[in-house]
Amino acid sequence: MSLAAAPDPASEAASEAASGAASLAARLPAYALAVLALLGLDFALPLLMPGDAVTAFLGQDAMTELSDGQRRQMLQELGLGQPLWRQGLAWLGQLARLDLGYSPRHGMPVAALLAQHLPWTLLLTGCALALSLAAGMLLGLEAAFRHSPQSPLRWLDRALTAAMLALQSLPAFAVAMGLALLFAHGLPWFPASGAAAPFSQATGLQAVLERAHHLALPVAALALPAAARLFLITRAAAVALRGAPFMEMALAKGASPLALRWRHLAPNVWAVALARLGGMGARLMAGGIYVETVFAYPGINLLLTDAIARHDYPLVRGVLLASGLLALALNLAADALAARYARRTQRLA
């Protein structure tokens, strides 16, 4: 009588890695098309803005003093005096040289401006994403275990669900303005604007604490609606998986409630949550436009609003391109992580 050979963990890991790489490679053509669409929109959208670039740059009063020849010369200097196809080719040539252009409003290269402001947006978005993931998943799992009619704390599940349904329906600017009014003006516990105190000379740990103090309200404004959406997703997935065979097996083996939550259920719920990670990141970056404006936070979204108001086309294109590429990169990472955890769920189901 022959015995079947035990599966080799190393070969299983290699097979899983190869499957994941193949799944990721299958998505690359779609991402390549998304990049091409991003480039087309990045060139076209600034040109569709209402108003006149020369008027926005010089001001309405200065326009009365310009002759037609001076106006044409100004358009040439701004790169807007040529046909659209020439402008598009020139812009693609700049991108091929990794040159994002020059901002007439700030008098410096767009790449240098992005290098100054992008880290602040990454810090804000990264902290908000981490906080929303932690709070949404933790509360969602706890609420799912209180969902049973036999649970004495079922009221907690109902209260949390009602609160999160209300919170996730609020737009980011409303949450930001509410937090600013309550905790920066009504109760002056946090700064109302900026990323650091004016003319601050703080260094080391003091500088870190100062920046964290200024970061608290913007992060909360971005993270609260995102955490509410993730709570609802996590709770629904956890309630559906509580009756899965692997959970019944763990319960039959005497697993504690804590082990059931975090050792058996949580890793399988992660696949569902991570599948939304890319969309969450893009939504947080979009909401950052309102949050950075309300709190005057020096990220690229605040830079974008000023560039739009001033018709600074090179800067608008640079910020939109950077934001779009970051969103696509986050979606790609989320796809890879979600596929990995989905395979784990399939094995255990």
Name 108's bridge partners: 103
Q: Is 193 left (phi over 0), alpha (psi -120 to 50) or beta?
A: beta
Question: 3-state SS of 206-237?
Answer: HHHHHHHHHHHHHHHHHHHHHHHHHHHHHHHH
What pLDDT does 5 receive? Answer: 47
Q: Of 316, 322, 310, 325, give the one whose Cα is nearest residue 115.
A: 322
The pTM for the full model equals 0.80
What is the rounded distance in angstroms from the CA atom of residue 297 to the CA atom of residue 340? Answer: 36
What pLDDT does 118 receive? Answer: 92
What pLDDT does 271 receive? Answer: 74
pLDDT in tens, the chain (349 residues): 444 444 554 554 555 555 556 666 777 788 889 889 998 888 888 888 777 666 666 666 555 666 666 666 666 666 666 777 887 888 888 888 888 888 888 888 999 999 999 999 999 998 998 899 888 888 888 888 777 666 677 788 888 889 899 888 888 888 999 999 999 888 888 888 887 777 777 778 888 888 888 889 999 999 999 999 989 888 888 888 777 777 777 777 777 777 777 777 777 777 777 777 777 778 888 888 889 889 888 889 889 988 888 888 889 999 999 998 988 888 887 777 766 665 655 554 4
